[in-house]
């Protein structure tokens, strides 16, 4: 296998989730590692022939039938072109790349998953993986914030998990649209505010964060105030990962390369690294 | 596949950009499979503005109220609007007036005689409408034009060029006409993409593709001064294709 | 010490003989005065007095712009196939040899780049000793890089001492045996200035962003990219997809990139992780003197001096590096 060479995949479904975000299901070769063996937090490179290639985090679980779930926001030129791609269209994928969330480190721990906006996508992958062995972990807390109610991703899925007692869930939106009733209990506040009254055991809690870069410093401060050490905090960084294998040079953060050293880093690894938390 | 409906029009300019497209003789027949050149007055008749367009390619700057109306109308009807060539992107030669007052120039050119149409300060398209992508150049490079069409056919747009002419000039291992040849070469400040067409023929860059993003004018002026070119000479050169260069 | 010696007079015959083994390229000074690596056809002698070529030999291994994938609806993405006839690069200075070794580490590692691998396999490297000028800094920094070649010509009185350091070099040496003579020669001064030492200095510490030098560099930088293009170890590339006019086929291209360009750290939606030029200079510095990713702690500067020579504004990271890293000065 050559990790420079994308394998063909087909678009199985493409379902709008919010006005600018879609859930895309692809199917590629059965048991190809790009679909069958990845860790939550890792990413793949998705190609639309003739348009380009972009890094996308996995949103689902490894599959044995070659299917891949991706949650995609239509903001760049490839993702915008993806909007007009139809079911059955040929795309291509390569991966998995990077270092994902360290599941083994989480064994027996309480887990705090904090997602902002599209950051829910990789954390959904993590959450699904954790739920597969629910007994291996303690509390599963999910804190999730989005711009507005209609931008909340997987809200129903999350609330269902909450109602059957699998997870504890807190939702928030930056501002509430007038005509929409939000999910019950959804607050109107910025994401870091959810940490303010949270009660966790800092000695047995690990946090996994994915969200827009701007909230990271605030979340880190909040988590430290809860007593979590930087070693217990894992963040996923978004950078321009073009090649995925540590060559093209675009995704460097300090002397770390996001595509091979990350994209998931512990807070301790990022301490003092210029440009990591902006 | 459904053919994309195109409008290709020229405002105030020399029509050279549209001609560059027509000069792609080898590729033109193939393009007809992908595109419907619905409005292309320079090449096809009849030329009626009607319905909606997948993309409008507009050459030239806006210098009359009529052109302004036409451009606004095209914007309304088009999913993508692309500025084609330096006049459309930056104002270009059509906007050149060496800092002279418009009225004085009008007197010099037309004297007391009446001009048939009303004119206004020539503007690049982006002063009037939202522009989705730009193709620089006077005229544009053939490969960039065809690249744009290939992108449009896939529902995407070309990326912005963020490097100057010098980049491709160095890639071609040319002698540096400024630092080594002591010539007034504008490559440092000029948007790349032309594969350093002129410097590769030992002709200094004239700046026809307009300013590169993040152009460091202050430092370049310093460098030009070291080479004996005064500020006015350099600015006059620069302003031929982008009248708004200022220190 | 017994050594194989070739006289200056025999050099032309050597080149003629080498042409039998493949395309022979070397540094040639053009009519415009620019030194470029190009074909050494009969009658085109290499310029062995030139200190440096404009572009380093990396252009043979990574083309400024090249197709890395082709796409058709039927076959999907395919790696391009390329015929690589044997190429002999003659007259490489130790810094350029070290530069190639750096690229080897980057592109031949665990997940080799096929284009690079094939080109590299077709390449024979013939090094030659040189006389550094004021722009060179090959002797100032310790780096684990070495100037590895197939054959090396070390300058001595009246000619060169020739040594081979690979099976391919040994074979070449045998092939040109009658041009060489065995001589007792004091071992020539080793102009290969790469000592294979580990990095010293605070290589993993972060850089002080408040140093005024960063802003100073940023103010003068013209963003032309010459420093990276001319650097033997700069290998950042941008990737572009170019659709064909049939609306179906496509090629994917990689193109030399530069960390001082605006788009280098920009992601979809416009967010730029290195918005200002001073930050980009720190990025460049880290990459050149500290290395990152798999080559972390591995300085990439081979001291060829090209960046300084090519920079229209005369910018130079070297004085800063000497201050920050604690340079090894020549004894």
Q: What is the CATH number of the domain that holds A90?
A: 2.40.30.10
Last residue of a domain, which of A72, A97, A122? Answer: A97
pLDDT in tens, A195-231: 888 898 999 999 999 999 899 999 999 999 999 999 9
Range 77-96 of C in CB contact (< 8 A) with A: 77-79
Instruction: Tell me: do A108 and A192 sit in the same domain.
Output: yes
The arithmetic mean of pLDDT across residues A253-260, rounded, is 88
- Global pTM value: 0.90
Q: Are C277 and B214 a contacting pair at CB < 8 A? A: yes
Share of chain A above pLDDT 70, in %: 99
pLDDT of residue A1: 62
A118 in the same domain as A47 = no
Checking if the pLDDT of A268 tops 60, the result is yes
Asked if B122 and B62 count as a contact pair (C-beta separation under 8 A), the reply is yes
pLDDT band at C109 (very low <50, low <70, confident <90, very high): confident
User: What are the beta bridge partners of residue C25?
Assistant: C39, C89
Q: How many residues does chain C have?
A: 331
Q: What is the pLDDT of residue C331?
A: 31
Numbered residues of chain B with Cβ closer than 8 Å to any chain A Cβ: 150-151, 153-157, 159
Residue A176, in any domain of the structure: yes
CATH of the domain at A222: 3.40.50.80
| A89 part of a folded domain | yes
- Average pLDDT over chain B, rounded to an integer: 92
User: Within this chain, do residues A80 and A114 fall inside the same structural domain, yes or no?
Assistant: no
Both A64 and A17 in one domain: the answer is yes
Q: Is residue A196 part of a domain?
A: yes
pLDDT of residue B35: 93
B210 CA to centre of own chain = 8
Encode C247-273: b = buried (16+ Cβ within 10 Å), e = exposed: bbbbbbbbbbbbbbbbbbbbbbeebbb
Are residues A33 and A109 both part of a single domain? no
Residues contacting C134, CB < 8 A, separation 6+? none
In a domain, A215, yes or no: yes
Does residue C312 have a pLDDT over 60?
yes
Amino acid C184: pLDDT: 83
Res. C246 pLDDT band, cuts 50 70 90: confident
For chain B, the chains sharing at least 3 beta-carbon pairs closer than 8 angstroms are A, C
- CA–centroid distance for A226 within its chain: 23
Q: Which of the pair, C329 or A114, is modelled with greater confidence?
A: A114
For the residues C234-244, what does the mean pLDDT come to?
A: 92
A171: which residues sit within 8 A by CB, 6+ positions away? A144, A145, A152, A155, A158, A182, A183, A185, A186, A187
Report yes or no: A245 and A232 within 8 Å, Cβ to Cβ. no
What pLDDT sits at residue C326?
Answer: 64
Pairing type for strands A205-210 and A187-188 reads unpaired
C35: contact with B, CB 8 A cutoff? no
Composition of chain A by helix, strand, coil, percent to 5 = 25, 30, 40
Predicted local distance difference test score (pLDDT) of residue A81: 87
* C-alpha distance from C293 to closest chain A C-alpha (Å): 5
The answer to whether C183 touches C156, Cβ cutoff 8 Å, is no
pLDDT in tens, C10-47: 999 999 999 999 999 999 999 999 999 999 999 889 99
Q: What pLDDT was estimated at residue C194?
A: 53
Dump pLDDT digits (tens) for B41-63: 988 877 788 899 999 999 999 99
- A82 & A191 share domain: no
What per-residue confidence (pLDDT) applies to C202? 47
Residue A89 contacts C where some CB pair is shorter than 8 Å? no
Last residue of a domain, one of A235, A256, A272: A235
Query: Cβ–Cβ of C292/A255 closer than 8 Å?
Result: yes
pLDDT at A16 exceeding the cut of 50: yes
User: Are A110 and A231 found together in one domain?
Assistant: yes
Same domain as A37, residue A115 = no
**B77 or C260, higher pLDDT:** B77
Q: pLDDT by residue (tens digit) across B8-29?
A: 999 999 999 999 999 999 999 9
Q: Are residues A68 and A30 in the same domain?
A: yes
Whether C229 and C256 have beta carbons less than 8 Å apart is answered as: yes
Q: How many domains does chain A have?
A: 2
How far, in Å, CA of C325 to CA of C331, rounded? 17
**Contact at CB, A240 and C207, closer than 8 angstroms:** no
Asked if the model's pLDDT at residue C2 lies above 50, the reply is yes
DSSP A119: G
| Whether the predicted pLDDT of C195 surpasses 60 | no
Cβ–Cβ < 8 Å for A53, A47? yes
pLDDT for residue A116: 93
Q: Find out whether B60 and B12 touch, Cβ atoms under 8 Å.
A: yes
Supply φ then ψ for residue A107, to 5 degrees: -50, 130
Of the candidates B151, B162, B219, the beta carbon closest to that of C219 is on B219
Same domain, A88 and A112: no
Termini Cα distance of chain C? 25
Which residues of chain B neighbour A48 with C-beta distances below 8 Å? 154
Q: Are the Cβ atoms of C229 and B1 closer than 8 angstroms?
A: no
Q: What is the pLDDT of residues A60-90, one digit of tens each?
A: 999 989 999 999 999 888 898 888 888 889 9
CB atoms within 10 A of CB B32: 11
Chain C neighbors of B176, CB-CB under 8 A: 310, 312
Highest mean pLDDT among A118-122, A236-240, C163-167: A118-122
* pLDDT-wise least confident of A121-135, B108-122, B136-150: B108-122
pLDDT in tens, C64-95: 999 999 999 999 999 998 889 999 999 999 89
Q: Is B56 helix (H, G, I), strand (E, B) or coil?
A: strand
Does any domain span residue A78? yes
Burial class (CB in 10 A: 0-12, 13-18, 19+), A103: middle
Q: A133 — phi, psi (to 5°)?
A: -125, 60
Closest CA relative to residue A67, chosen from A31, A18, A22, A106: A31
* Alpha-carbon distance values, B182 to B46, B106, B178, C221, C316 (Å): 52, 38, 5, 19, 22
Q: Are strands A90-97 and A7-18 parallel, antiparallel or unpaired?
A: antiparallel
Over 60: is that where the pLDDT of C243 sits? yes
Q: Give the tens place of pLDDT for each residue, A168-189.
A: 999 999 888 776 777 888 888 8
Q: What is the mean pLDDT of residues B152-156?
A: 90
Interface touch A80/B159, C-beta < 8 Å: no
What CA–CA distance (Å, rounded) separates A244 from B162? 23
Residue A263 in domain: no
Residues of chain A positioned with their CB less than 8 A from the CB of B157: 77
Residues 110-129 of A with CB under 8 A from C: none
Domains observed in chain B:
4-153 (3.40.50.700), 165-238 (no CATH)
Handedness of CA C84, C88, C94, C96 (dihedral sign): negative
For residue B244, whether the previous peptide bond is cis, meaning omega lies within 30 degrees of 0, is no
Q: What is the pLDDT of residues B120-132, one digit of tens each?
A: 889 999 999 999 9
Contact A51 B157 (CB under 8 A): no
What is the least distance, in Å, from the CA of C51 to any CA of chain A? 29
Instruction: Look up the domain containing A190 and give its range.
Output: 103-235
The bridge status of strand A7-18 relative to strand A21-28 is antiparallel
Q: How much is the pLDDT for B24?
A: 93
- A229 falls within a domain: yes
Quick one: residue C93, left, alpha or beta (phi over 0 = left, psi -120 to 50 = alpha)?
Answer: beta
pLDDT band at C285 (very low <50, low <70, confident <90, very high): confident
Q: Does A121 touch chain B (CB under 8 A)?
A: no
Indicate yes or no: CB of B156 within 8 angstroms of CB of A84: no
Inform me whether the C-beta atom of residue A277 falls under 8 Å from chain B C-beta atoms.
no
* C268 inside 8 A of chain A by CB: yes
User: If you write DSSP's letter for every residue of A80-97 in order, what string do you get?
Assistant: HHHHT--TT-EEEEEEEE
What pLDDT is recorded for position C142? Answer: 61
Task: For chain A, give the number of residues.
Answer: 278
Query: Could you say which of A45, A77, A97 is where a domain stops?
Result: A97
Whether A222 and A109 share a structural domain: yes
Cα–Cα distance measured from residue A252 to residue B67, given in angstroms and rounded to the nearest whole number: 47
Say yes or no: C248 contacts chain A, CB-CB below 8 A.
yes
Between CA A142 and CA A113 the distance in angstroms is 5
Residue A14 contacts B, CB cutoff 8 Å:
no
**Cα–Cα dist C143/C201, whole Å:** 12
On whether residue A221 sits in a domain, the answer given is: yes
Following CA atoms B75, B78, B80, B84 in sequence, which dihedral angle do they give, to the nearest 10 degrees? -60
Cβ-based burial of B161 (10 A; exposed 0-12, middle 13-18, buried ≥19): buried
A226 touches chain B (CB under 8 A): no
Q: For chain C, what percent of residues have pLDDT higher than 90?
A: 52
At A103-124, the pLDDT tens digits run 888 889 999 999 999 999 999 9
Nearest-CA distance A112 → chain C (Å): 27
- Band (pLDDT 50/70/90 cuts) for residue C188 is low
Query: What is the structure's pLDDT at C186?
Result: 74
Could you tell me how many CB contacts below 8 A there are between chain A and chain B? 19
A211 with A173, same domain: the answer is yes
């Amino acid at each position: 296998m050559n990790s420079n060479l994308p394998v063909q995949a087909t678009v199985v479904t493409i379902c709008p989730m919010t006005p600018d975000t879609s859930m895309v299901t692809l199917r590629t070769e059965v048991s190809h590692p790009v679909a069958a063996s990845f860790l939550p937090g890792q990413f793949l490179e998705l190609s639309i022939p003739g348009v380009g290639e972009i890094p996308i985090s996995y949103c689902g679980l490894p599959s044995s039938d070659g299917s891949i779930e991706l949650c995609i926001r239509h903001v760049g030129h490839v993702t915008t072109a993806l909007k007009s791609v139809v079911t059955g269209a040929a795309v291509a994928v390569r991966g998995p790349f990077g270092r994902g969330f360290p599941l083994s480190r989480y064994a027996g721990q309480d887990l705090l998953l904090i997602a902002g906006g599209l950051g829910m996508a990789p954390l959904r992958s993590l959450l699904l993986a954790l739920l597969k062995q629910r007994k291996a972990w303690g509390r599963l807390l999910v804190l999730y914030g989005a711009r507005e109610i209609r931008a909340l991703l997987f809200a129903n899925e999350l609330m269902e998990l909450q109602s059957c007692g699998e997870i504890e869930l807190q939702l928030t939106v930056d501002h509430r649209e007038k005509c929409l009733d939000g999910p019950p209990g959804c607050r109107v506040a910025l994401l870091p505010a959810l940490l303010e009254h949270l009660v966790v055991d800092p000695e047995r809690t690990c946090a996994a964060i994915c969200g827009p870069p701007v909230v990271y410093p605030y979340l880190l401060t909040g988590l430290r105030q809860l007593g979590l050490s930087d070693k217990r905090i894992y963040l996923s960084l978004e950078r321009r990962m073009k090649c995925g294998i540590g060559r093209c040079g675009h995704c460097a953060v300090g002397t770390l390369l996001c595509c091979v050293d990350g994209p998931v880093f512990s807070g301790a690894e990022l301490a003092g690294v210029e440009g990591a938390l902006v | 596949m459904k053919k994309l409906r195109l409008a290709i029009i020229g405002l105030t300019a020399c029509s050279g950009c549209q001609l560059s497209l027509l000069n792609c003789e080898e590729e033109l027949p193939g393009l007809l499979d992908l595109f419907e050149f619905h409005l292309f007055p320079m090449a096809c008749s009849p030329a009626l503005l009607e319905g909606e367009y997948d993309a409008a390619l507009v050459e030239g700057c806006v210098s009359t109220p009529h052109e302004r109306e036409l451009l606004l109308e095209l914007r309304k009807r088009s999913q993508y609007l692309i500025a084609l060539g330096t006049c459309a992107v930056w104002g270009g030669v059509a906007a050149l007036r060496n800092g002279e007052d418009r009225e004085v120039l009008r007197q010099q050119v037309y004297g007391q005689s009446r001009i048939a149409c009303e004119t206004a300060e020539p503007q690049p398209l982006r002063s009037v409408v939202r522009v989705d992508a730009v193709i620089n150049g006077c005229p544009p490079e053939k490969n960039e034009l065809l690249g744009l069409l290939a992108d449009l056919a896939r529902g995407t747009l070309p990326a912005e060029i963020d490097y100057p002419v010098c980049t491709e000039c160095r890639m071609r291992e040319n002698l540096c006409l400024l630092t080594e040849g002591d010539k007034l070469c504008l490559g440092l400040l000029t948007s790349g993409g032309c594969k350093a067409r002129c410097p590769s023929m030992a002709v200094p860059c004239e700046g026809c593709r307009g300013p590169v993003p993040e152009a460091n004018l202050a430092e370049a002026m310093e460098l030009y001064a070291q080479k004996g070119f005064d500020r006015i000479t350099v600015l006059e050169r620069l302003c031929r294709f982008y009248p708004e260069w200022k220190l | 010490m017994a050594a194989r010696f070739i006289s200056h007079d025999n050099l032309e015959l050597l080149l003629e003989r080498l042409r039998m083994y493949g395309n022979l390229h070397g540094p040639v000074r053009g009519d415009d005065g620019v030194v470029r690596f190009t074909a050494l056809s009969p009658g085109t002698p290499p310029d062995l007095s030139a200190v440096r070529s404009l572009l380093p030999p990396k252009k043979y291994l990574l083309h400024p712009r090249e197709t890395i994938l082709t796409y058709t609806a039927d076959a999907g993405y395919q790696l391009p196939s390329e015929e690589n006839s044997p190429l002999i690069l003659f007259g490489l200075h130790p810094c350029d040899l070290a530069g190639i070794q750096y690229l080897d580490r980057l592109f031949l590692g665990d997940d080799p780049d096929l284009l690079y691998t094939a080109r590299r396999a077709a390449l024979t490297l013939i090094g030659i000793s040189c006389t550094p000028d004021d722009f060179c800094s090959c002797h100032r920094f310790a780096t684990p890089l070495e100037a590895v070649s197939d054959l090396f010509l070390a300058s001595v009185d009246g000619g060169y001492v020739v040594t081979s350091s690979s099976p391919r070099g040994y074979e070449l040496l045998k092939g040109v045996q009658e041009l060489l003579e065995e001589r007792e020669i004091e071992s020539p001064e080793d102009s290969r200035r790469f000592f294979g030492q580990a990095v010293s200095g605070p290589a993993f510490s972060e850089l002080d962003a408040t140093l005024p030098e960063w802003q100073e560099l940023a103010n003068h930088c013209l963003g032309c990219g010459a420093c990276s293009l001319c650097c033997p170890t700069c290998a950042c590339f941008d990737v572009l997809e170019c659709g064909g006019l049939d609306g179906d086929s496509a090629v994917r291209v990689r193109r030399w990139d530069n960390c001082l360009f605006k788009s280098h750290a920009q992601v979809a939606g416009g967010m730029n992780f290195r918005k200002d030029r001073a930050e980009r200079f720190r990025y460049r510095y880290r990459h050149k003197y500290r290395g990152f990713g798999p080559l972390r702690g591995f300085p990439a500067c081979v001291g060829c001096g090209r960046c300084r020579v090519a920079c229209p504004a005369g910018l130079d990271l070297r004085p800063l590096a000497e201050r920050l890293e604690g340079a090894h000065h020549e004894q």
